[in-house]
Amino acid sequence: MTVDVPDRHHAKQGRSIGRWTLAAGDRRLVVYLKRHFALPRHHTWLARLFPTRVYSPGWQEFENLRWAAAQGLPVPTVHAAGESRRGPLRSFLAVEELGGMLALHELIPLAAGRLTPSDFEVWKRGLVVELARLTRELHRRRAFHQDLYLCHFYARVSDIDMTPTDWTGRVIMIDFHRLLRSPMFARRFQVKDLAQLLFSTAGVTGVTLRDIFRFERAYRRAAGPDWPPPPAGLRRLVRWKAAQYLRHNRKLAGGMP
């Protein structure tokens, strides 16, 4: 909790994240260290009153990542997690850096600039299907990311040159600290996740309406016996919610497009 981590350091509202390189002899490990220094006071009291329950974000995300990995969902490797209940509740989480990978909001424009139009379409087709599959696998377990933005999916830069047609296992999901697992109000959180993902594609070079339609079809086809196909009105709800996110974002940006 006290180590100085200046590399790619970002801090706000009592939490921070930074890239931390550890070395011992010829061994090297690079992790992203997420720390929470200022949590609500009632979380501290709850953690003391109910010591077997989890109230710190670092430990919550550790549990969520462990659950996701057990479900076969691709997530980063966790190397350490912990919390301190001496004084105000604090916590940390160290996840391995996704070396050689980029978030999709950066990788897609990069691929659009490198590949020919026909190769880029093939490249995207497999990627979109995998995004739909991962989202559906999460949702059919009545689990909802709540931060399901394009920047929270990662893939290898080398996959641009390979132009894979089968993307299974090539995309990693990150940032699970807000994961919600609940059968109640499932439709509400399903709409929220899908709207966040749709909103996050706005302005990303290389993403077209065809890709959005392709995702919708693949997501609908991925239905299983334990999770029925989405209702016909889901598309309308998702687009309405995404438009709300867009209007709110523009308002925060002072009306800029």
Mean pLDDT of 100-121: 96
- At residue 7, the pLDDT reads 95
Q: Residue 154: which H helix or E strand, with range?
A: strand 153-156
pLDDT for 182-198, tens place per residue? 878 888 999 999 999 99
What is the C-alpha to C-alpha distance for residues 74 and 232, in angstroms, rounded to an integer?
30
| pLDDT for 35 beyond 60 | yes
What is the C-alpha to C-alpha distance for residues 127 and 195, in angstroms, rounded to an integer?
19
Q: What is the mean pLDDT of the chain?
A: 91
Tokens of 7: 């590399």
- Residue closest to 131 by CA, chosen among 119, 148, 110, 112: 148
Report the share of the chain in percent with pLDDT over 90.
Answer: 72
Mean pLDDT of 81-88: 89
- At residue 166, the pLDDT reads 87
What is the C-alpha to C-alpha distance for residues 104 and 95, in angstroms, rounded to an integer?
19
Q: What are the φ/ψ torsions at residue 68 (nearest 5 degrees)?
A: -60, -45
- At residue 199, the pLDDT reads 96
Mean pLDDT of 12-20: 92
| pLDDT for 165 beyond 80 | no
Weakest-pLDDT range from 68-72, 83-87, 112-116: 83-87
- At residue 241, the pLDDT reads 93
Report the CATH fold assignment for 10-96. Phosphorylase Kinase; domain 1 (3.30.200)
Mean pLDDT of 250-254: 75
Q: Which amino acid is at 55?
A: Y
pLDDT for 19-32, tens place per residue? 999 999 999 999 99
17 or 228, greater pLDDT:
17
| pLDDT for 43 beyond 80 | yes
Mean pLDDT of 117-135: 95
What is the C-alpha to C-alpha distance for residues 124 and 158, in angstroms, rounded to an integer?
14
222 or 116, greater pLDDT:
116
Mean pLDDT of 114-132: 95
Which residues of the chain form CATH 1.10.510.10? 101-252
- Total-model pTM: 0.91
Mean pLDDT of 148-167: 93
Which residues of the chain form CATH 3.30.200? 10-96
What is the C-alpha to C-alpha distance for residues 160 and 124, in angstroms, rounded to an integer?
10
- At residue 238, the pLDDT reads 93
| pLDDT for 257 beyond 60 | no
Tokens of 249: 């974002």
Beta bridge partners of 83: 91
Mean pLDDT of 212-225: 83
71 or 248, greater pLDDT:
71
First to last CA, the chain: 40
- Do β-strands 90-96 and 180-181 pair in parallel, antiparallel, or remain unpaired? unpaired
Q: Which CATH architecture has domain 101-252?
A: Orthogonal Bundle (1.10)
